[in-house]
A and B are shown apart, each in its own frame.
Chain A
């Protein structure tokens, strides 16, 4: 303790001395001569230089994205869930309609244990296998449906936003479609085309793309008359090029936000529809089917109901948080 004080006092002394030394070294005004100065030329090029490193849009997006620890955790979580749901079913050979163990009382209603991690159900099937097979279907539906919707929505919305003729027609179509409850359309379409994976995707995307397209139309219209687009027009740039080069790049973060909202919403939508008994065929496992099938066991064998719900919640929440973070990161205002 004492030694440290000694050192600090010594340092202070030294500091004072250098200060005094500097005070003494100030040259008297009368002693200054022209030799003390040197002519420095202005380097015009140096003036124009930019000190920062080169900016790259996607590089900054990635840098920004990985800043948050929660996001990284969610990313790891979703990667694990994805790997499990796309690889595990290949080995488990889970079959929803397999009832071979129904008479094996030892295999029925096992509480989660070392052999059956998530327990077993009334048919003696492992819930662990069921959940990953179900998650695979649910995630596939969510991803495929939102890709279709965003693809069509962005293309149609971009044309819709810049073409007045197209706008007039599309607005009428939009008014008609958006006033019919989408659930009704989906149920009618599912009954008309029959149950099935692709039929369900068709039913879900058949009309709902128009909502995304309308959203994109508004966004394009906001950007359309900005000054930089007027500038492009005076340079003779065609409308098509303005949309592709000037407007859509600005909308990247908006599109990412929209995807991050539609993807989880499609997954929960599928769950909701399966719960109602609409959509997928009887032999296709999905999280929605598991939840609806096990809902009577909510009190007797709670793990059967709550584990699929938990996995569903983890999928939607992590996708949502990753999407939000990605859309924040893809907004260049957050870049340095």
Chain B
């Protein structure tokens, strides 16, 4: 896979997101650069509080950005945009939420929840078409048509998350931000949800920005991965490349912490602890550099030389 062959759907440039102002100002995300290609599953991994969700929400326009650009389909979508443009973009970018019980309206039937977007954008010509669309979507996510008039609290966690997926994907979005869609779910149904996302990618060509902290899940689902820590992206590469040749020490420590379901091997393994003070950035500040084709690392010149030397 070469970057130049792929069409870029979403491009983030020097993104900075700040919360609060004055003394209580807090920079949650800074210097974030990445492109998402059409039809791929791009993952953002990092510990909690690293700003993964903040970036996802900024793309949807829920969190305002303080600097930088978010370019979707060739148009800037952050900052000041007209209401009409925002309305258009909102349909094309959808979100799957982390907690399926908090993100569904408990007082509305599944029928209304899934149709909500259709009503807002008049995507169905008449009542019959709307019902047909909803039924089809319901079938796509593996729910039964007779469950249309039930309420969210009657469903299990996995079923609820599928309702959440259905309402996002019925809009025919180009990009779906999946914000830890499986972390609130039972182990036994996680694979079901992941496979569902993969199915939609294959059948409808939906592009996903997958936000997670579970590396084994990320390896299973994504094409490219960006590792984020404290609001900065430290390393970005294709999935297998990242897992086979992690360059940044933080990525190495993350990979060394993946649980191994074999106590004998797990005992022998040495955990690598990352210390953010190990970098010497006094002479030269770090930037996002391409060490190998398609493999970016956040480092300065000296470190880049060192990493390149290590690889050979």
Contact = CB atoms under 8 A, between A and B. Distances in A.
B105 A235 contact: no
B144 A49 contact: yes
A166 B150 CA distance: 37
Contacts of A227: 97, 99, 102-103
Interface residues of B, number: 37
A50 B112 contact: no
B104 to A, nearest CB: 6
A55 B107 CA distance: 11
B90 interface: yes
B120 A245 contact: no
B143 A236 contact: no
Interface string A224-239: 0011101111111110
Interface in A182-220: none
B142 A237 contact: no
A5 interface: no
A209 B90 CA distance: 38
A263 B120 CA distance: 39
B142 A44 contact: yes
A240 B6 CA distance: 41
B144 A45 contact: yes
A45 B105 CA distance: 25
Contacts of B159: 48
B155 interface: yes
A232 B150 contact: no
Given A48-B144, A54-B150, A234 B108 contact: no
Contacts of A245: 105, 108, 112
B150 A332 contact: no
A233 B117 CA distance: 10
Contact of A228 (B102, B120, B147): B102
B106 A235 contact: no
A154 B93 CA distance: 34
B142 A48 contact: yes
Contact of B104 (A228, A233, A236, A250): A228
B303 interface: no
Nearest to A57: B107
A236 B219 CA distance: 32
B297 interface: no
A236 B91 contact: yes
Interface string B145-183: 001011101110001000010011001000000000000
Interface residues of A, number: 27
Given A55-B150, A231-B95, A246 B105 contact: yes
B281 interface: no
A254 to B, nearest CB: 13
B119 to A, nearest CB: 8
Contacts of A57: 107, 151
Interface in A36-76: 44-45, 48-50, 52, 54-55, 57
B94 interface: yes
Interface secondary structure of B, over-half rule: mixed
A52 B146 CA distance: 13
B203 to A, nearest CB: 19
Nearest to A45: B144
Contact of B62 (A52, A233, A238): A233
A249 interface: yes
B154 A228 contact: no
Given A45-B144, A49-B144, A50-B147, A231 B103 contact: yes
B150 A50 contact: yes
B220 interface: no
Contacts of A231: 95, 97, 103-104, 164, 167
B116 interface: yes
Interface string B257-277: 000000000000000000000
B60 interface: yes
Contact of B106 (A52, A230, A241, A332): A332
Given A49-B144, A232-B105, A250-B106, A237 B150 contact: no
B19 interface: no
Contact of B116 (A45, A55, A235, A249): A235
Contacts of A48: 142-144, 147, 159
A111 B171 CA distance: 77
A171 to B, nearest CB: 21
B150 A234 contact: no
Contacts of B91: 236
B121 interface: yes
A55 B106 CA distance: 12
Nearest to A332: B106
A237 B116 CA distance: 7
Contacts of B104: 228, 231
Nearest to B96: A231
Interface of B: 60, 62, 87, 90-91, 93-95, 97, 99, 102-108, 112, 116-117, 120-121, 142-144, 147, 149-151, 153-155, 159, 164, 167-168, 171
- The list of the 6 closest CB pairs from A to B, nearest first, reads A249-B107, A236-B120, A235-B117, A227-B102, A227-B103, A231-B103
Interface of A: 44-45, 48-50, 52, 54-55, 57, 226-228, 230-238, 241, 245-246, 249-250, 332
16 contacts: A50-B150, A55-B150, A228-B106, A230-B103, A231-B95, A231-B103, A231-B104, A235-B90, A235-B94, A235-B120, A235-B171, A236-B91, A237-B116, A238-B120, A246-B108, A332-B107
